Every structure is written in structure tokens, then in C-alpha cells.
Amino acid sequence: MEAAFVGDWVLDAAVPALDGVLAQLGEGDIRKLIFSTQDLGRWDSLLMTELIRLVNHGANQGIEVDTSSLPEGIQGLLQLVYAIPEPIGARRKATRVSWLEVLGASGLRLFDDVQAIIVFIGETALGLWALMRAKARFRTVDLWTNIQDCGPSALPIITLISLLAGLILAFVGAVQLALFGAEIYIADMVGLGMMREMGSLMTGIIMTGRTGAAFAAQLGTMQVNSEIDALKTMGFKPMEFLVLPRILALIFIMPLLCLYADLMGIVGGALVTVNFFEVSLLQYLNRTADAVHLKDFFIGIVKCGVFGVLIALSGCLRGMQCGRSASDVGDAATSAVVTGIVFIVVADSLITVICNRLGI
């Protein structure tokens, strides 16, 4: 049988479907297929894919396909296509994975992950121990840069979020308290709420997104760029040189940020109370001072310090675990934020339960 290609065979041209030819090849006993290309105009990859279909079809049906009459360029390309045969088994088959397998695999991953976290905590503890014996080696300037990055640079976002948190607490409380004409107790609610809970929790969550992710991305990029390997060959311990300054910076800065967030929350509460209800600023502040005790304040501050350690741990852990491709860095940052938030919420619940049991 002879098939003739006529006209332009380019990607956006209207060309006849080859199905007719394929169907004709199927019926009768055609032994050989030759091509005529006298009237072929322009051609590109479209013609090639159709030819490959014909050649493959011919090979399957045992029909000889003679390509010698095709233009030289097409013949050369066809030769390239068939020069290196497809290795047997190279093609990936779409496999269906049962949900049980997925579940099991993620269970095993979780187990590995918990193991990695425990090992990392151990290594960090060793690093801190070395620090206490004044044997840890890192650059003080790194500590200060990290403090600068985590602390003062985070103030604007902390201001905004805490102010709004105080404002929202005040409004929500006011709706109920106004029913009893007890607007003055908004001060109790905002003061205690911010000091004991919201100040530290909000700071923790903001810093997970801001700093935890940044730590993971920084360390991850260093991993991709072999910088961590380079440090190791120069005799530095990455745990001391990279992780310690970050953890120390957060331990140092988080209580201060929490203090600031508490203050901003109270300012937010005062804005609402003083402006919308008949409470003076002085009354509000006096009421806050009566309601909030030093222990409430310290619970919040200590909690925030704990969150700082957890954020630094999760950020650095995911950064150090990072693989060696660019997308791994993104995964590390995402995973650092998720881990950080889980850690914070779990730790917050535990501390609250403990405080409750101890009656503080």
C-alpha cells in the first residue's frame, strides 16, 4: 500500500486523521507500506509523531514499512528515534496503591520522624552542654544577627496582631459583660487572657511562621549548596555552629516579644473599652493591675520561652534534614511551620493542664 502525504503537516494545520490508513492496514493482507511525499509541504513534529505511529503499528502487525522514500531529514530523525531501543522494564506502569499500604507507609514514616526528633533533641542537648562548659564554637556575630532578625524585625507584625487580639477579646467580652453593666471587667478578661494565654500563643504562632520557616530555609539552602558539608570538613559541628546561635537567639528574644505582645493586647483592650463604654483609661488600668497577678505574667513569659525552644528546634531540625534539591527547601520550610505549630499547641495544652493541677 502506498500512503501519500499531501500539503502542510505542521502542528496547527488541519490534517486528515490517520485512523483511516490504520484501519485499511488492518484489513486484507497488506505486506508493505511505502510513502510518497512529492506533494508534502512544510512539516514538523506532527508528521513525525504520525509516522512513528504508523511504523509502530506496522511492526505490531508484521507489515514492512519502507521509509526510504521519505525526505532525508525525516529519515534521519526516525533513525534517531529508533537508535536506542526502549530498555525492557524502563517504562513506569501506573500502579494502584491500596489505602492500607499508604496508611502503613505513613505510619512507618511517623515512626522514623519521631526517632529523628529524639536524636535531634539529644544532639541539641549535647550542644547546650558543650556551651555550658564553654566548649561550643560559634560566631558571636551570628548570635547577634539572629537576635536582630528574630527580635526587632518582628516588632511590626507582633504589634499589629497583638493589638488586634486585645481588641477582639475586648469586643467579644463586652457583648456579654454589657448585659450586666459590668463593662469594667473587660479589663480582667483582656488582661488575664493576654498575659496567661493569647500573648504567648500569638507570639509563638507568628514566630513559627516568620522565624521557624526562615531557619528551615536557611539551613536547607546551606545543605543544598554543600555549605554544611564544607563546615564539617573544616572541623565545625553544624549543631554548635548553626543550630545553637539560632536556639539561643529565640530563647533570649521570645520572652521579650511576649512581654511586648501582652502590653499591646492591653492597649488594644483599653482602646475599645475607653472609646465605646463609659470607663476611663485610669479605671481600666487600675482594674487590670488588680486583676492580673505577677504569677499570671510569669506563666505567659515562661511559656513563650518554651515556645521559642520548640520553634528553633523544629525549624533547625527540618532545615538539617533537608534534601539536596530546590524543592526540598520549600518542603523543609512548610514542614518546619507544621511541626512548630503542632509542638506549640501540644506544649501549651500540657502547660495549661500542669498549671491547673498545681493551682497556679
Partner 1 sequence: MATPCLTIKDMTLAYGDFVIQRNLNFTINRGDIFIIMGASGCGKSTLLMHLIGLMEPAQGDVFYNGESLWQAGPEDRQRILQRTGVLFQSGALLSSMTLAENVALPLTEHTHLEAQRIRELVSYKLALVGLAGFEDYYPAELSGGMLKRAGLARAMALDPEILFFDEPSAGLDPVSAKRLDDLIRSLRDHLGATIVLVTHELASIFAIGSDSVFLDTEAQTIIATGPPKQLLAESKDPKVIHFLTRGETQKRYAGNQQPGVV
Specify the stretch interacting with partner 1 by CB under 8 A; choose among 41-49, 62-70, 227-235, 293-301.
227-235
Specify the stretch interacting with partner 1 by CB under 8 A; choose among 47-55, 115-123, 224-232, 277-285.
224-232
Contact between 169 and 198 under an 8 Å Cβ cutoff? The reply is yes
Which of 106, 176, 226, 280 binds partner 1 (CB under 8 A)? It is 226
- Nearer to partner 1 by Cβ, of 16 and 122: the residue is 122
Smallest gap from Cβ 172 to partner 1, in A, equals: 44
Q: Beta-carbon neighbour count of residue 198 at 10 Å?
A: 22
- Nearer to partner 1 by Cβ, of 137 and 295: the residue is 137
Grid coordinates representing 328?
526540598
Tell me, by CB under 8 A, how many residues bind partner 1: 16
Element (H, E) at 222: helix 213-224
Which of 10, 30, 48, 231 binds partner 1 (CB under 8 A)? It is 231
- Own/partner pairs, 118-126, CB within 8 angstroms, 24+ separation: 120/313, 120/316, 120/317, 120/320, 121/313, 123/239, 124/239, 124/243, 124/244, 124/247, 124/313, 124/316, 126/239
- At which residue does the C-alpha cell 496547527 appear? 12
Amino acid at 266: I
Smallest gap from Cβ 192 to partner 1, in A, equals: 42
Which of 38, 98, 233, 275 binds partner 1 (CB under 8 A)? It is 233
CA distances from 164 to 1, 192, 327 (A): 80, 16, 35
- Nearer to partner 1 by Cβ, of 32 and 137: the residue is 137
- Give the distance, in angstroms, between the CA of residue 346 and the centroid of all CA atoms in the same chain: 20
Q: Beta-carbon neighbour count of residue 341 at 10 Å?
A: 18
Smallest gap from Cβ 111 to partner 1, in A, equals: 17
Which of 8, 113, 123, 227 binds partner 1 (CB under 8 A)? It is 227
Please give the Cα distance from 168 to 188 (Å, whole number). 14
> Is residue 235 near partner 1 by the rule CB under 8 A?
yes
Which 130-159 residues touch partner 1, going by CB under 8 A?
137, 142, 145
Smallest gap from Cβ 230 to partner 1, in A, equals: 4
Smallest gap from Cβ 233 to partner 1, in A, equals: 5
Contact between 304 and 200 under an 8 Å Cβ cutoff? The reply is yes
- At which residue does the C-alpha cell 499508604 appear? 102
Specify the stretch interacting with partner 1 by CB under 8 A; choose among 34-42, 221-229, 302-310, 322-330.
221-229
Which of 171, 236, 252, 277 binds partner 1 (CB under 8 A)? It is 236
Q: Which one, of 45, 58, 85, lies nearest residue 3 by Cα?
A: 58
Smallest gap from Cβ 88 to partner 1, in A, equals: 17
Alpha helices in 151-196 (DSSP H): 155-177, 186-192
- Nearer to partner 1 by Cβ, of 150 and 198: the residue is 150
> Is residue 229 near partner 1 by the rule CB under 8 A?
yes
Please give the Cα distance from 293 to 314 (Å, whole number). 32
> Is residue 164 near partner 1 by the rule CB under 8 A?
no
Contacting positions for partner 1 (CB under 8 A): 137, 142, 145, 221-222, 225-227, 229-236
